[in-house]
A and B are shown apart, each in its own frame.
Chain A
C-alpha cells in the first residue's frame, strides 16, 4: 500500500468526476459562448463541491497540486484552454496554505472553496474574454472585476460550508474510515 498511489488514484477520479458534471452543465447550456461570466458561476456549484470533498477525503500531502494538474489536463483535452491557467494557479495557492492548516476541517474547506472560486473565477473571466475576442458581449473592466470578486467569494464560501456539512455527515455515518 503505497501512499502516493492512493493520492494519485483518488485525485484522478475526483477531478474527472468534477469535469464530467461541469461539462454536462456547460455543454447543455453552451454557457461559454453566451458570456464568460456565466461559465464560472455554473462551475462553482456541484463541481466545486466534489473538488472540496476530494481534498477532505484524500487528506495527504500533494492532493491539491495533483487535482489541479489532472483537471487542467482534462480541460485542455476538451480544448477549453481558457480555464487552464486559473486552475493551476489556484491549485498551487491552495497547496501552499493547506501545508499550514491541513486539508480537513471547517476552516480548511471554507478557505479552499473561497480561494478556488475567487482566483479561478477572475482568471477564467479575463482569459474567456480574450478567448471570445471582440465578440464578447461584456467588456472586461477593472470595476466589473471589483464587483464580481465578492460574488465569487460568497458563492465559494457557501459551497465550502455545504461540502463540509456533507463530509461531516459521511464521517459520522461511517462511510469514510480514518
Chain B
C-alpha cells in the first residue's frame, strides 16, 4: 500500500495533533497495526510494560501519557517512511523534496546499523568510546548526505498537474480522522 505525500502529511499531522491534545493512548494503539516488522512491536510493548510497572510501583500512574507520547512519534516516522511514495514527494515539492525523501529512506539502514552494533558489542568490551563511535560516525555521514542532496540540481519539470486519488488513500485518511475523533470522544 503506497500513498501520496499529501495524504501521508495529513495522516501524520492528524495523529500528532491527537497525541499533543489528548492522552495519546488511542493514537499509539492505532499506529501499531500499520507497522510491518514484528520485532519493533515486541520491543515497544516491552518498553511500555516496563515503564508502566515502574510508574505503578512508584505510585505515579498519572504520568502514563508521556511514555505513550514518546513512542507515538517514533511510530509515526516508521509509518511515514514505509507508506509514503518517495517519487510523489519530488512530484509535489520539486527539488526541495529530495532531502525529505532521503531522510525518510534511512529507516532500514539505521536499523541494520543498530543491529550490527548490538551484535558486535561484546567484542567492543563495553567501552563507551568504542560502542558509540560507529553510531555517531554514521549519523555525521547521513547528515552530510542530506546536505549533498539539498544542493542537487534536477533538470526538467517534475511537478505533476493533478494528484491521483486511489482507494488506499481514502482508507488511510478515514482511519486517521476516526482515530482523531475517537481519542477526543473516549477519555482513557
Enumerate chain A interface residues (CB-CB to B < 8 A).
1, 5-6, 9-10, 13-14, 17, 20, 23, 26-30, 32-34, 45-46, 49-50, 53, 57, 77-80, 135, 162, 165-166, 169-170, 175-176
Residues of A within 8 A of B50 (CB): 28-30
* Chain A residues with CB below 8 A from B51, complex form: 27-30
Flag whether B174 is at the interface (Cβ < 8 A). Answer: no
**Does B8 count as interface, using CB distance less than 8 angstroms?**
no
Q: What separation, in Å, do the CA atoms of A32 and B82 have in the docked complex?
A: 32
Is residue B143 within 8 Å, beta carbon to beta carbon, of the partner chain? yes
A23-B70, A78-B73, A162-B129 known; A57 vs B63 contact (CB < 8 Å): no
Given contacts A9-B147, A165-B129, whether A30 and B63 have CB atoms under 8 Å apart is: yes
Interface hits, B96-144 → A, CB 8 Å: 99, 103, 128-129, 132-133, 136-137, 139-144
Name B's interface SS. Answer: helix
Shortest beta-carbon distance from B176 to chain A in Å: 18
Task: State whether the Cβ of B55 lies closer than 8 Å to any Cβ in chain A.
Answer: yes
B70–A26 CB distance below 8 A: yes
Tell me, in angstroms, the Cα distance from A93 to B58 when the chains sit together.
36
Q: Which of A80, A135, A166 contacts B136 (CB 8 A)?
A: A166
| B interface residues, how many (CB within 8 angstroms) | 35
Contacts of B150 in A (CB 8 A): 5, 9
**Min CB–CB distance B186 → chain A (angstroms):** 20
Per the bound structure, the CA–CA distance linking A175 and B99 in Å amounts to 20
Residues of B within 8 A of A45 (CB): 128
Kindly provide the distance from the CB of A104 to the nearest chain B CB, expressed in whole angstroms: 14
Report Cα–Cα, A1/B71, bound state, in Å.
36
Q: A78-B73, A165-B129 are in contact. Are A9 and B99 (CB under 8 A)?
A: yes
